[in-house]
């Protein structure tokens, strides 16, 4: 009796989920689903615009070479989505070493990326596929031993105050 009960609930949930998801309109690669070269360029553009406006993380990008960052992000998004590109930048671990990127900053970055994809009407399933491929970078970007207090690079926090 009970087994049927939970089976019914699971079935209902599956139907509820699959019923409102368009299936079978994928391109050959995630890259194509993202709109190819042009789509990825628009996404990186929208993403960087949001990062620049984000008080939580803009500081971490202060002094960054934005045209270079844009090019590397386009390469990276293209490569992880199986597009015809090669990422020419350093590894995530190398490029973020010593920056003290916190969990909070990493999440802010992810939120900006999701917001950018939402703004460009990227389908949820495509969003999730891209996020799934970027998620493993978390452990290479977020510092293992993080101070829980504001770091020394935080402006306006005079030492000894």
Partner 1 sequence: MCLAVLLPALGAAPAGAGSRLLATGGAMPLEGAAGGGLVPWAVLSGYSTPGEAGPTVAYTHVETDDYQLDTYSVSLNLWNRVELSAARQVFDIGALTPALGSDPGNLGQDVLGIKVRLAGDLVYSRWPQLAAGAMYKHTREFAVPAAIGAIDSRDWDFYLAATKLFLGGAFGRNLLLNATLRATRANQLGLAGFGGDLNDDHELMAELSAAVLLDRKFAVGVEYRQKPDNLGFAAEDDWYDAFVAWFPGKHVAVVVAWAELGSIATLDDQNGPYLSIQASY
Q: How far apart are CA 119 and CA 125, in angstroms?
A: 15
Judged by CB under 8 A, the residue of 20, 28, 62, 144 near partner 1 is 20
Task: Tell me: does residue 63 bind partner 1 (CB under 8 A).
Answer: no
Is the CB of 52 or the CB of 157 nearer to partner 1? 157
- Residue 20 CB contacts under 8 Å (≥ 6 apart), including other chains: none
Six token digits for residue 38: 């042009």
- Residue 58 CB contacts under 8 Å (≥ 6 apart), including other chains: 51, 52
Is the CB of 68 or the CB of 146 nearer to partner 1? 146
Matching residue, tokens 């917001």: 115
Judged by CB under 8 A, the residue of 9, 52, 58, 66 near partner 1 is 9
Six token digits for residue 71: 């090019």
Six token digits for residue 72: 């590397």
Task: Tell me: does residue 125 bind partner 1 (CB under 8 A).
Answer: yes
Contacts to partner 1 by CB under 8 A: 2, 5-6, 9-10, 12-13, 16-18, 20-21, 23, 55-56, 102-104, 107-108, 110-111, 114, 118, 123-126, 128-129, 131-132, 135-136, 138-139, 146, 148-150, 154, 156-158, 161
């Amino acid at each position: 009796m009970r087994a049927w009960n939970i089976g019914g609930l699971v079935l209902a949930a599956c139907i509820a989920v699959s019923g409102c998801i368009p299936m079978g309109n994928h391109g050959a690669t995630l890259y194509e689903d993202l709109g190819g070269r042009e789509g990825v360029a628009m996404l990186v553009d929208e993403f960087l615009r949001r990062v620049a406006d984000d008080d939580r993380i803009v500081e971490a990008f202060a002094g960054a070479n934005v045209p270079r960052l844009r090019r590397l992000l386009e390469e990276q998004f293209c490569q992880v989505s199986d597009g015809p590109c090669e990422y020419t930048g350093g590894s995530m671990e190398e490029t973020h070493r010593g920056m003290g990127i916190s969990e909070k900053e990493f999440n802010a970055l992810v939120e900006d990326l999701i917001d950018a994809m939402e703004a460009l009407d990227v389908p949820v399933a495509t969003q999730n596929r891209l996020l799934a491929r970027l998620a493993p970078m978390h452990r290479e970007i977020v510092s293992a031993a993080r101070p829980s207090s504001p770091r020394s690079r935080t402006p306006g926090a005079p030492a000894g105050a």
